[in-house]
Amino acid sequence: MHLETNSNIYGRTVNPWNRNLSAGGSSGGEGALVGFRGSPLGLGGDIGGSTRSPAANNGVYGFKPTPFRVGNTGGMGLIAGQEGIIGCIGPLSPTLSGIELFMKAYLDTMPWVREDYLVPIPWRDVELPKTLKIGIMWSDGIVKPHPPIHRALSQVVNALRSADFEVVDWQSKDHDECWKLTSALYFEDGGDRLRHMLKAGDEQVLPLTEWLLGQEEVKARSVEEVWDVSIA
């Protein structure tokens, strides 16, 4: 979960607005392409921010649908079948209307007829309440954002309030505990399949990957242990 895009084949994907900055990840290539206006629409994979991070980094919109709304038949995944944290496919677009167009056009084809694991719910227009309430988290209590990030959040807050949104401060709780649960559910096999894949390809384990796999909660679990973590 690097939120970065770096391939042994193509190297690092950089930001089209500033090549000294990251395009994010893991769908950073799609984020950079759409950010560069090389395509009006893109698709990314998302489990913990891998569509939304590239969207934010490259100045476009990204959307993570609820799992089992967009099919992934034909795709490849390292942890296919894992149910603790379920990844999904989501669109990226320079405009919010592009996101809406994709979701509506796709769901109008009734994809659950072809892929029976998808939820059979058609596209529905919804009426939003007159005033939307939006929470802003200034810090998670573990990492304090750098001043430019804080300044950007302040600008967003001012813009939202000017547009008659209700903005409230949101106090995070137990992010450290949340991370322990997340790291456990990301690698229910203790990372064995990932290490096997890297070894088969004779690829070096990147330092951040090594750090992630070395987390205390990352260990092979029995089915019963996975159930216990899932309801924690």
pLDDT at 92: 98
pLDDT at 10: 85
- 11: enclosing H helix or E strand: strand 11-12
Report which DSSP code applies to 220: B
What is the CA angle 156-159-161, rounded to 5? Answer: 110
The DSSP secondary structure of 12-74, one letter per residue, reads: E-B-SS-TTSB--SSSHHHHHHHHTTS-S-EEEEESSSTTHHHHHHHTSEE--PPTTSS--TT
The average pLDDT across 178-197 equals 88
For 36-45, 57-66, 78-87, which range has the lowest pLDDT when averaged over its residues?
Answer: 78-87
Tokens describing residue 7: 């391939």
What single letter denotes the amino acid at residue 105?
A
Query: What is the rounded average pLDDT for all residues in the chain?
Result: 90
pLDDT at 186: 87
Residue 28's nearest CA partner among 74, 11, 199 is: 11
Residue 230's nearest CA partner among 59, 17, 86 is: 86
Instruction: Tell me: pLDDT of 1 over 70.
Output: no
Q: How confident is the model at residue 201 (pLDDT cuts 50, 70, 90)?
A: confident
In angstroms, the CA 192 to CA 118 distance is 29
Q: How confident is the model at residue 150 (pLDDT cuts 50, 70, 90)?
A: very high
The average pLDDT across 94-103 equals 97
